[in-house]
Structure 1
């Protein structure tokens, strides 16, 4: 069975995912188009990512896919169907696919398949919370069991996802910048309250903000106070974040009541709100919660491909968490060729790991390129910039010298899983950076560069089996410093996608104040 999942719409980044195999034994490749066309949040038809996935799985022709699945936003007569089949256009990559093999399915159903089919649960409640999906749905509830997913109910009211997006733009951050609002929120905790009355009405799966938001363009009413100072912006972010957590707790309680399931899969753009996720987990409504690292619309191709594999192909499922590293493979020959093309650095092949750790201990900035790229919008160690977490000023150094972004933006820690409870208030693995627990009080001065202003941190736990050489780097840093934690941020600069290829990595390294690039087993050190 070969299944191809696609996503393309005018609002979010497009991409592709391909699955080849039978039952629980299959190979998978997944990539967002922005990683290859180098346009942040690219809306282009995912031709480059389709071709990359096909190369990885050794599928010579798109006609060999048994199913090509994509989501729709409005109806099954979506404008895309004709565009994908139109000859003499970019999208004619699909011209050789038998029309009966092209399937258009519900947007939230794609989210549900991406979340549940990559989870460790045999059965679970599935809660989707985002902006807008098919038929304008904002929130949906499903039950997953085995290889099937059943829709329970949904709503098309203006939900918490749209409120959060509208407030993000109202604060002044622009489209698809909700992460900035989450990062700014703690700075507003002690600021004077603003005159916001969200008037959120919760009933069942509904969270409604019709009296606060304008339906037509999903913005706020014109009479809503626009924050003009940093303090007001921070307070607006804080109040919005508190409302998000309140809404998610309501939805979680309702999902548990209706489904009776002890475990939850959470997806949709709101599921990237790691702070709200942690609040939901701490409420102990569910025994466990799973969130895929590509929870936003970046994961729609993944869910579409799984729909083809399980719903259409009727393959048996073997539950288990999926590796986040699903991008293409780059050979050592390709890497060596890329290294040879550029100049301006010393090439270290012997004792490269030792020198990389020495540079980190000496407070240098070291980028990391390893294996297949991670899915989703957050770096999980294969396309990362690493720095020493022991020095508080390193946050400002990175924001100013490399990331070129707002000073309040926090950085995340990676930690050896077996030591995670020594540093963070967490009782389980967190391999995808989707929870924000407290840093233990006695460790906040130890790792100040990754401790947020409210004493929290967006943690990624790392193991040898799941993360490979990233664990080895952490282990070596621990041996040198006694601290099994490193600062980790995405390998890119503001406004650009995370690097994908060896060439991307070297260009970013040379174009910023990064001191060294540890690319597979080779260390490049600037002259």
Structure 2
């Protein structure tokens, strides 16, 4: 088994119908949505949002089977930002500060960024990040210089590989911060759960299949404002 994408999948028609049915709710939350049929454009725009410091909900294809979010039910952030852990915990996660976030890296770049070079498709191993690279990706570097990595091959997850490649093209860094798509609850499975999680948190963008849902600045939902003031 070279990938873990064995869970449920929801087609384009299903997602489009959901967004149509929830369009008023989405608008009331100060959000807009649009469909992007070109995968390269979808990944480029998402990568640019990540590079600008935004927090992205990434919901694609079949759900992962097992204990890790591996790029189909993931929240994506910029690994270069030292404050990204705090941003994620403030906007969504609210978890202990000592718990590290993980890097998803293009498989072809592992040897350049880690002291060991091997396939880790299920995010179940910890490698040492090369010392000269650690300051470049502080958000995914643990206090001991390690990272619990996921290696991403095009053959296993073409769209996630394309997203990380687009981020590399924008920033020169071939990896992104990856954490599970949830807020103190089980990882989202269905599009409805992803949309609900996006709307009730301060997540900035949701890439839901071929659709991008994003907040219209400076509007935020009432609950999001309350959360921000509380935390």
TM bucket (normalised to shorter chain) is 0.7 to 0.9
1:416/1:484 contact within 8 Å kept: yes
Where does 1:142-221 land on structure 2 (aligned, <5 Å)?
Answer: none
Distance 2:142 2:107 in 1: 20
Summarize the alignment of residues 126-137 of structure 1 with structure 2, pairs less than 5 Å apart.
none
CA positional deviation for 1:384: 0.1
User: In 1, are the aligned partners of 2:44 and 2:167 still within 8 Å (CA)?
Assistant: no
8 Å CA contact retained: 2:128, 2:145: yes
Residue 340 (1) aligns with residue 20 (2)? yes
CA shift for structure 1 position 357: 1.6
SS state of the match for residue 444, structure 1? helix
1:382-429 deviation digits (Å, cap 9, x = unpaired): 000001100111011112221111111110000000001111122211
Provide the C-alpha distance between the structure 1 equivalents of 2:86 and 2:98, rounded to a whole number of angstroms: 9
Question: Normalized against structure 1, the TM-score is what?
Answer: 0.38
Question: Are 2:93 and 1:403 aligned?
Answer: yes
1:368 and 1:517 in contact (8 A); partners too:
yes
What residue number does 1:422 align with? 112
Which of residues 64, 75, 80 in structure 2 aligns to 1:374? Answer: 64
Q: Which of 83, 96, 103 does residue 413 from structure 1 map onto?
A: 103
Shift of 1:378: 1.3
The answer on 1:522 being equivalent to 2:211 is yes
Correspondent of 1:508 among 197, 213, 217: 197
Gaps of 5+ in 2: 217-231
Indicate if the aligned counterparts of 1:392 and 1:448 stay in contact, CA closer than 8 A.
Answer: yes
Matched with 2:224 is none
Query: Which residue is 2:35 aligned to?
Result: 349
The alpha-carbon deviation at position 338 of structure 1 amounts to 1.5
Q: Which residue of 2 aligns with 1:329?
A: 9
Q: CA RMSD in A?
A: 1.1
Structure with larger RCO (C-alpha < 8 A, sep 6+): 2
Q: Secondary structure at the match of 2:156?
A: helix
Q: Please give the alpha-carbon distance, in whole angstroms, between the structure 2 residues aligned to 1:413 and 1:445.
A: 14
- Deviation per CA, 1:333-377, whole angstroms, max 9, x where unpaired? 111112223213211324433321221111000110011100112
Report if aligned partners of 2:79, 2:138 keep a CA contact under 8 Å in 1: yes
Look up the match of 2:152.
Answer: 462
1:323 deviates by: 2.5
Taking the TM superposition and a 5 Å limit, the aligned residue runs for 1:244-323 are: 321-323=1-3
Residue of 171, 182, 204 corresponding to 1:481: 171
Q: Any idea what the Cα deviations from partners look like across 1:219-260, whole Å, max 9, x if unmatched?
A: xxxxxxxxxxxxxxxxxxxxxxxxxxxxxxxxxxxxxxxxxx
Asked if the contact 1:326/1:375 (under 8 Å) is kept, the reply is yes
- Deviation of the 1:322 alpha carbon: 4.1
1:362 aligned onto 2:52: yes
Counterpart Cα distance in 1 of 2:130 and 2:180: 25
- For residues 122 and 197 of structure 2, what CA distance do their matches in structure 1 show? 24
Q: Equivalent of 1:498, from 187, 209, 214? A: 187
Partner of 1:436: 126
Please list every run of 5 or more consecutive structure 1 residues that lacks an aligned counterpart in the other structure. Answer: 1-320
393-402 or 479-488: which moved more? 393-402
Map 1:41-190 to 2 at 5 A: none
CA offset digits 1:484-503 (Å, max 9, x no partner): 01000000012x00000010
> CA offset at residue 521 of structure 1?
1.8
Q: Distance in 2 between matches of 1:323 and 1:415?
A: 15
- 1:280-330 CA distance string (max 9 Å, x none): xxxxxxxxxxxxxxxxxxxxxxxxxxxxxxxxxxxxxxxxx2420011121
Kept in 2: contact 1:365–1:514 (CA 8 A):
yes
